[in-house]
Amino acid sequence: MRVPVDWLGEYVALPEGVTGEQIAADLVAVGLEEEGLHTSGVGGPLVVGRVLELTPEEQKNGKTINWCQVDVGDSNGTGEPQGIVCGAHNFAVGDLVAVILPGGTLTTPQGPLTISARKTYGHISAGMICSVRELGIGEDHDRILVLPRLLPAEVVAGLSPGDDLIRVLGLDRETVEVNVTPDRGYCFSIRGIAREYSHSTGAAFTDPASLPVDPGVGEGYAVRLADDAPLEGVPGCDRYLARIVRGIDLTRTTPEWMARRLTEAGMRPIGLAVDVTNYVMLALGQPLHAFDLDTLTGPIVVRRTRPGERLTTLDDVDRALDPEDLLITDGGERILALAGVMGGEDGEVTPGQTTDVLIEAAHFDARTVGRTARRHRLSSEAAKRFERGVDPDVTAAAAQLAVDLLVEHGGGTADPAIADVDQRADRPAIDLDLTMATRYVGVNYSFDRVRALLTLIGCEVVDTQDPQRVSVLPPSWRPDLTDAPTLVEEVARVDGYDKIPSVVPRAVGGRGLTHAQRSRRAVATALAGQGLQEVLTYPFVGADRFDELGLPEDDPHRRTTRLANPLSDEAPLLRTALLQTLPEAVLRNVSRGSRDVALFEIDTVTQPAGELQAPVPGVGELPSDEVLAEIRAAVPAQPWHVAVMAAGQADRAGWWGRGRPVDVVDVVGWAHAVADALGVPVERRQAERAPFHPGRCVELVLADGTRVGWAGELHPQVVQRLGLPARTSAAELDLDVLVAASDHRTQVAPLSTHPLATSDVSLEVPRGVRYGDVEESLRAGAGELLEAIELFDVYTGDQVSQDRHSLAFRMHFRAPDRTLTTTEVNTARDAAVARASQDHGAVQR
């Protein structure tokens, strides 16, 4: 809401010399946040000058400039004429003009410009003779402002060279722009803002709605409120007031002061009728509508839409109407307007044609107007106000103000008869415990203080038999005051939030972070410690990403959640795995020159199970257990995942030696680091799965077989399709599975201090046998004395037959209670080899 300061000052006593900045600060204190401060952008000295001499000088480029001597009185400090070069020609010797002297400022399309004396065209030009556009009071750039052509003669008569022009030209005017929260519809008016300013500062408020209202003689224009389908029990219109002004000349121009206020408030002057209704709306917050009386054939009937009805609204859009839309109709048939939102083509006033006008000042239901505005995507100024609540008591005053302005500036006469169909329900009073404000806010408000503050904002406070309780009737313009806490807010707000003390509450005492929360931090820290960078990618993907990743048609990762209103039609789906969105981050780094890139992300992914629907039972009431269960069940599963993706060098090259490219072993290692960080043993199983290289992928599982995730090199085709660096490798694990598996207290085994015995074996096995399976057999065969085992070499070549290879394992044995003998070690080793032979046909070399 833009608030021109001089307009505000008409309704509330502003202190002498108050600035827009101070007003904005005072409004912030009562909850109207500053959005901006608009000024003319012209700063003095800007003075009256009389042109004494004007010498045209033709330049080499063919342009003629004028070298002028201008009398600016004593304003330049010397009293001597000011020498100024001017390129315009629409003025002459003797003219009174506006001169900006060195030190003054103008606002140009390029930004603020400070005027200084400068050498140009062979002269020292000390200032500027201003054009209307330079001063921001007109569009005509070339024309110099010659004061008698703009200002009334009596004003010009009082001017002499050197007089300040900032105030005379209205360039000191300021407009404060504030943000109005959706509960304060009444602040979409200067009246409402003025009242708030008064609450904030104590300045005297003069209600512009308390103007003399004609009593109304006779019936007035026929109006029928015929809403047969109120929304949520509230009629669409509970007050409709119609007034008629006849014989107006709508071709007359809007008075300059009104046009300026409209412009400053952000509305474009259009024509007298529209300007007057807009002006009243801005002043009092009551949207009005003007109809051409001659085009009306029957009574005004306010009703809901019938099936199949359409309306072409003033924005030239033909709209199919909804049964919930409330209409203003001519005689019940011809549709004139979407009530409180926008008019149609029929019944509109036409300057030069319309002479008799019917002014509608009505009160429409916020819900009805809001739904219609949203349904038709029509956020008009009227709808914005009705949707947030318009004061139903201001209707008559608003109509009166409009009638007065039309009569004054359009020259018509008002009909003495006024139609006022008033079916408003009584506003309910609110029962208030006078101790509540103190209990809620933590400031000690006396009962009298509470009463006084509520009275100040316009409430009627009525005592009850209980001295601690009062009955509070909120003012008509505050439909947002609906229960006791809303009144408490008013008490705290008007008393001042700055009075609230600071007290740290004593919480009941928490148990610290949960295991899952600590676990996720541990995983992130472990991966960062391994050299990976944490990133946060957007979760939006397109279906083509699933194709690029080579996911089969029946891959569960294709079952996803779609957004109804995605930011981009290219990415309307929510990721089902983090690897779907990590490629962009890798690519961005590579394109910016960071080619060695190892990233990780920890977040939830969305994995919907089916087509469930979450009920939306409404506000203020706890749903039944069944409904709550239904709501919870419809929310898709969103497990926490961790994913890594890496390309480029794992070890840096340098003078110390060569680098080492990141490979699949790194990625498997990082996957293990995640599990190790949580102390969860995982096993690897060779796997074939998109988006990984079919021969370079491993599935990680818990001891009980529960799947944790996959690690591997990305499929070369995936790499190619996504444009990733060759051999990009990746892993993705379900963190929830790991966290659940780690949620126990590790119990330690005592450490044996007896010596370690080591024995190496080389086993020839057929090529198809997995290393991990051979290791598993050795482990099983060796028994409890085996402490650790590692595969340290794989040999293929002349020494073994073509279809076999030789695996060299080192086995470490230790007993808890004694030093092992060579015989014991050999026995265990032989048992291990025997098991491997039995399981896999392994032959010891």
Partner 1 sequence: MPAPDGDGSAGEGGAQDLSQESIEGHVAAALRAVGAAGDLDELKQARLAHAGDRSPLALANRAIGGLPGSEKAAAGKLVGQARGKVNQALAARQVELEAERDERILVDEAMDLTVAPGRRPLGRRHVLTVTAERMADAMVGMGWEIAEGPQVEAEWFNFDALNFDKDHPARQMQDTFFVDPAKAGLVLRTHTSPVQARSLIERGVPLYVAVPGKTFRTDELDATHTPVFHQLEGLAIDEGLTMAHLKGTLDRLAEGMFGPGIVSRLRPAYFPFTEPSAEMDFRCFVCRGVATDPACRTCGGTGWIEWGGCGMVNQNVLRACGVDPDRYQGFAFGMGVERTAMFRHGIADMREMIEGDVRFNAQFGMEI
**Which amino acid is located at 523 in the chain?**
V
Contacts of partner 1 in 358-377 (CB under 8 A): 366-367, 370-371, 374
CA-closest candidate to residue 218, choices 418, 400, 359: 418
**126 near 100, Cβ under 8 Å?**
no
Q: Which is nearer to partner 1, 304 or 814 (CB)?
A: 304
Residue 470 makes contact with partner 1 by CB under 8 A: no
One character per residue 571-610, x = contact with partner 1 (rule: CB under 8 A): -x-x---------xx--xx--x-x--xxxx-xxx-x----
DSSP states of 149-194: HHS-HHHHHT--TT-B-TTTTTTT-EEEEEEPPTT-GGGSSHHHHH
Q: Which is nearer to partner 1, 571 or 769 (CB)?
A: 571
Helices (H), 152-255: 153-157, 190-201
CA-closest candidate to residue 572, choices 584, 580, 583, 560: 560
**Element of type H or E holding 707:** strand 707-714
Residue 182 makes contact with partner 1 by CB under 8 A: yes
Q: Which is nearer to partner 1, 119 or 592 (CB)?
A: 592
User: How far apart are the C-alpha atoms of 380 and 639, rounded to whole Å?
Assistant: 44
**Which amino acid is located at 33 in the chain?**
E
Residue 116 makes contact with partner 1 by CB under 8 A: no
How many residues in the chain?
845
CA-closest candidate to residue 172, choices 136, 140, 133, 148: 136
Paired tokens of 486: 């809303």
**Least Å from the CB of residue 67 to partner 1:** 40
Residue 22 makes contact with partner 1 by CB under 8 A: no
318-320 and 310-312 beta bridge pairing? antiparallel
Strands (E), 353-424: 357-364, 413-414, 419-422
One character per residue 184-203, x = contact with partner 1 (rule: CB under 8 A): x-------------------
Distances (CA, A) of 286 to 15, 289, 302: 28, 10, 18
Q: Which is nearer to partner 1, 176 or 811 (CB)?
A: 176
**Least Å from the CB of residue 490 to partner 1:** 8
Residue 705 makes contact with partner 1 by CB under 8 A: no
Contacts of partner 1 in 42-101 (CB under 8 A): none
CA–centroid distance for 220 within its chain: 47
**Least Å from the CB of residue 201 to partner 1:** 15
Q: Which is nearer to partner 1, 503 or 748 (CB)?
A: 503
The pair phi, psi for residue 275, each rounded to 5°, is -65, -40
Which residue of 509, 750, 768, 797 would you call a contact of partner 1, by CB under 8 A? Answer: 509
Q: Which is nearer to partner 1, 20 or 370 (CB)?
A: 370
Contacts of partner 1 in 375-414 (CB under 8 A): 387-388
**Least Å from the CB of residue 111 to partner 1:** 18
Which residue of 425, 616, 748, 749 would you call a contact of partner 1, by CB under 8 A? Answer: 616
CA–centroid distance for 832 within its chain: 66
The upper half-sphere exposure of residue 420, i.e. CA atoms within 13 Å in the direction of its Cβ, equals 19
Residue 816 makes contact with partner 1 by CB under 8 A: no
**Element of type H or E holding 431:** strand 430-433
One character per residue 429-468, x = contact with partner 1 (rule: CB under 8 A): ----------xxxxx-------------------------
Which residue of 60, 119, 632, 745 would you call a contact of partner 1, by CB under 8 A? Answer: 632
Paired tokens of 334: 């011809």
User: How far apart are the C-alpha atoms of 780 and 786, rounded to whole Å?
Assistant: 9
Contacts of partner 1 in 640-679 (CB under 8 A): 650-652, 654-656
**Least Å from the CB of residue 287 to partner 1:** 16
Which residue of 58, 316, 498, 803 would you call a contact of partner 1, by CB under 8 A? Answer: 498
Which residue of 565, 746, 753, 802 would you call a contact of partner 1, by CB under 8 A? Answer: 565
Residue 233 makes contact with partner 1 by CB under 8 A: no
Residue 771 makes contact with partner 1 by CB under 8 A: no
**Least Å from the CB of residue 327 to partner 1:** 19
**Least Å from the CB of residue 74 to partner 1:** 33
DSSP states of 56-117: EEE-TTS-EEEEEEEE-TTTTSS-SPEEEEE---S--TT-EEEEEPTT-EEEETTEEEE---
**Least Å from the CB of residue 31 to partner 1:** 3
Judged by CB under 8 A, which stretch of 98-106, 135-143, 632-640, 689-697 contacts partner 1? Answer: 632-640
Paired tokens of 389: 């609540």
Q: Look at residue 775 and give its three-state secondary structure.
A: helix
Contacts of partner 1 in 268-327 (CB under 8 A): none
Residue 702 makes contact with partner 1 by CB under 8 A: no
Judged by CB under 8 A, which stretch of 9-17, 152-160, 400-408, 614-622 contacts partner 1? Answer: 614-622
Distances (CA, A) of 803 to 135, 722, 843: 93, 37, 13
**Least Å from the CB of residue 270 to partner 1:** 26
Give per-residue burial for 769-784: e unless 16+ CB within 10 Å, then b. Answer: beeebbbbbbbebbee
User: How far apart are the C-alpha atoms of 396 and 402, rounded to whole Å?
Assistant: 10
Which residue of 532, 678, 697, 737 would you call a contact of partner 1, by CB under 8 A? Answer: 532
Q: Which is nearer to partner 1, 434 or 602 (CB)?
A: 602
